[in-house]
Amino acid sequence: MMKKAALIPAAGQGLRLGEGPKALLKINGITLVEIVVSKVLPIVDEVIVAAPQGYEDVFNELLPPAVSVISGGDCRWSTVDKLIKASQAKTLLIQNAASPFASQQLIEKVILAAEETGAAGAFIQPSVPVGLLNHGKITEYAPKETALLFQTPQAFFRDILEKHHSVKERYQSTAQYVMAGGHSVESIQGEPDNFKITNELDWEIAKKIIAPKLANDLTLNRTIRSTESA
């Protein structure tokens, strides 16, 4: 049995950005899905990418032969469910193609913590208190010292994820399914640059601020070159 698999949900059509599937957007001439694959491929036993329906051939041509490409679902839940069922590895890493800026070191830390506890994820502390909304009004708040914002990567034992993800709720984060089922998630310190590209402002930040940093990331450049030659 494979020990570790990276599951990459990349099936979004990018409707909010209006530039086609987000996974195929390019930073420094490299697609977001290639950036994610280049980081996870050296540290797991299996990589499975869920592509938007109709784009499977595009992804297969883009990614190295070692990566399996499947068709995504019509929502995030169904896409992640397909990815879970496509692997038999003991530990499953979830890393969104729309969140390509997590460092390889962070990914490794999350996997290691999951292998020890069954469930782990990257979280980052907010700089201000977090208000809790109740019928349009803020009636409570969580101090910044006790509140954390969700990031990816997240990683889980497959049996834990299979059990809790079977509930068809519309949670935004995979870790929410596990928490809702009563299983705690180990918190790993996230990274400020590790954000999800959702809207036009995120994309502008990615292109103008993050792209120059990635251009100088020697580890990332080496892994991309080795992935392309595979």
32 domain residue, yes or no: yes
215 domain residue, yes or no: yes
**Residues 177-199: pLDDT tens digits?**
999 999 999 999 999 999 999 88
167 domain residue, yes or no: yes
pLDDT of 6 strictly over 90: yes
Model pLDDT, residue 223: 54
Amino acid identity of 91?
A: T
Helix, strand, coil percent values for the chain (each to nearest 5)? 40, 25, 35
Residue 60 in 3-state DSSP? Answer: helix
Are the CB atoms for 8 and 95 separated by under 8 Å? yes
Structure confidence at residue 217 as a pLDDT band (50, 70, 90):
low
**Residues 22-33: pLDDT tens digits?**
999 999 889 999
161 domain residue, yes or no: yes
What secondary structure, in 3-state letters, does 130-161 show? EEEEECCEEEEEECCCCCCEEEEEEEEEHHHH
* H/E element, 85: helix 76-86
Q: What is the mean pLDDT of residues 160-167?
A: 92
Name which residue leads in pLDDT, 219 or 19.
19
**Residues 119-136: pLDDT tens digits?**
999 999 999 999 999 999
The pTM for the full model equals: 0.90
The domain that holds 173 is classified in CATH as: 3.90.550.10
